[in-house]
Amino acid sequence: MTKLEDFDFELPPELIAQEPSEKRDHSKLLVPRAIQSNEITDFYNIVDHLEKGDLMVFNNSRVINAKLSLIKNSTKEILVNLNRPIGSNKWLGFARPAKKLSTGDEFDFGEHQVVIASKLENGEIEIEFRLKGISIFEFLDQYGQLPLPQYIKRKEEDSSDNRRYQNVYSDPRGSVAAPTAGLHFTEDLLKVLQEKGVETEFVTLHVGAGTFLPVKTNNIEDHKMHTEWCEISEKTAEAINRAKAEGRRVILVGTTSMRTIESCAKDGKVIAGSRETNIFITPGYKFQIADMLVTNFHLPKSTLFMLVCAFSGQNEMKSLYQYAIDNQMRFFSYGDSMLLTRK
């Protein structure tokens, strides 16, 4: 049995990044080395660790204003974080405090209504949007807020988050949390990669609120992973399969890109299409596609920390995270990153 406590580590709270770096690509990058000492460099130097012919794959999902403030009885504020759609006008979400909501509660937003359709046993709520003449995304643009993670604690909202908590290449809307490994890339850095001969392709996985839910089972095999929608185009699938056939490196940007590609891989090849995925990658998993992974530093006991342990080794990751802590690297969404190689 693999225990949850095996993925715990002590993180000084002051290392949890509350703000992004001054410039996207001026965050820090940790490059592990087996023989000589690990390297910590500015992120824009990632180009020095890539080769002509490498293929980098990014998740291009765009974050929506998925946080809604509901006012009940004129005084009680209830915060709702949307999770994922379950129809053209219904979404699942999480509420704080959920006990103040009842099935059938209605909330007016101008000429539009938000209705609590049901409360589910797993803590989620089902929300119905009754909108007049606008789409759900247009409604959220007007009435919603950007859903920054709860560990970012500020007295005041920062308007720059609307820009910095999005990837520069993001396009299809649907995520309720940013695929944060991509936050370090600028348009100029992408051009430099292209000039070096590094190929770039995109997949889509709409990140759900479940990405922040803690693992509560002591035996991690008993944990039920949240479900997310993902898609790989014919063009991207062909590019990945061609790179693998030619022996070129495939470098994934972010754990969401990893989960997408592994969900759509069979017998060492990627199959184009869209699907729901709840893939749970833990140590012992046999990776089919990725040679390297760009990723931020993750929460203790999280499914994402388990994923990087599966990719690069559990003991190695514990040691590397301690190295990052000792060197005051910044953690989580607005923090620094690593360039990992598959063990």
- b (16+ CB within 10 A) / e for 263-272: bbbeeeebee
Query: At 22, phi and psi to the nearest 5?
Result: -55, -40
Looking at the predicted structure, is the pLDDT value of residue 200 above 90? yes
Last residue of a domain, one of 113, 143, 173: 143
Same domain, 201 and 174: yes
Residues 288 and 183 in one domain: yes
Opening angle at CA 121, ends 129 and 306, nearest 5: 100
pLDDT digits (tens, 9 = 90+) for 227-255: 999 999 999 999 999 999 999 999 999 99
pLDDT above 90 for 129: yes
Beta strands in 221-298 (DSSP E): 228-232, 250-253, 265-266, 269-270, 273-277, 292-296
One domain for residues 336 and 208: yes
The reply to whether 235 and 206 lie within a common domain is yes
My answer on whether 103 and 238 are in the same domain is: no
Banded model confidence at residue 157, pLDDT cuts 50, 70, 90: low
Model pLDDT, residue 158: 76
Q: pLDDT at residue 65 above 70? A: yes
Q: What is the token pair recorded at 279?
A: 């893939």
Does residue 126 fall inside a structural domain?
yes
Residue 73 has a pLDDT of 83
Q: Give the pLDDT score at 279.
A: 96
Q: 122 in a domain, yes or no?
A: yes
pLDDT beyond 90 at 18? yes
Same domain flag for 29 and 72: no
Which CATH number is 117's domain given? 2.40.10.240
Asked if 88 and 53 sit in the same domain, the reply is no
pLDDT tens profile 259-295:
999 999 999 999 999 999 999 999 999 999 999 999 9
174-192 average pLDDT score: 97
Q: What pLDDT was estimated at residue 214?
A: 84
Domain membership of residue 156 (yes or no) is no
Same domain, 21 and 46: yes
Are residue 103 and residue 209 in the same domain, yes or no? no
Three-state DSSP state, 308: helix
Q: Give yes or no for residue 121 having a pLDDT over 90.
A: no
Do 249 and 102 share a domain, yes or no? no
Give CA–CA dist 113/130, Å, rounded. 5
pLDDT of residue 156: 67
Tell whether 91 is covered by a domain: yes
Q: pLDDT value at position 209?
A: 83
Local structure of residue 227 (DSSP, 8 states): P
Tell whether the model's pLDDT for residue 342 goes beyond 70.
yes
Q: What is the pLDDT of residue 76?
A: 80
Percent of the chain with pLDDT over 90: 87
Task: Please report whether residue 155 resides in a domain.
Answer: no
The pLDDT of residue 184 is above 80 = yes
Q: What is the pTM of this model?
A: 0.95
Average pLDDT over residues 301-307: 96
- Please say which residue of 108, 143, 178 terminates a domain: 143
286 located within any domain = yes
Structural element, H or E, at residue 321: helix 314-326
Rounded to an integer, what distance in angstroms lies between the CA atom of residue 31 and that of residue 213? 28
| pLDDT tops 90 at residue 36 | no
Mean pLDDT (the chain) is: 95
* CB contact at 8 A, 240 and 57: yes
Indicate the pLDDT class of residue 258, thresholds 50, 70 and 90. very high
Q: Which residue has better confidence, 196 or 34?
A: 196
**pLDDT at position 241, please?**
98
Would you state the structure tokens that stand for residue 287, as one six-digit string?
A: 């990776």
Which structural domain range is residue 120 located in?
67-143
What CA–CA distance (Å, rounded) separates 89 from 280? 29
Assess if residue 151 is contained within a domain: no
Work out the average pLDDT over 213-226.
90
The predicted model gives 335-339 an average pLDDT of 98
Average pLDDT over residues 218-230: 92
Strands (E), the chain: 28-31, 39-42, 55-59, 62-63, 67-72, 76-85, 90-96, 106-109, 112-119, 125-130, 173-175, 199-206, 228-232, 250-253, 265-266, 269-270, 273-277, 292-296, 337-341
181 and 254 fall within a common domain: yes
Residues 59 and 96 in one domain: no
pLDDT attached to residue 1: 80
d(CA 164, CA 161): 5
Tally of domains within the chain: 2
Helical residues (DSSP H) of 101-220, grouped into ranges:
136-143, 161-164, 187-196
**Would 125 be classed as within a structural domain?**
yes
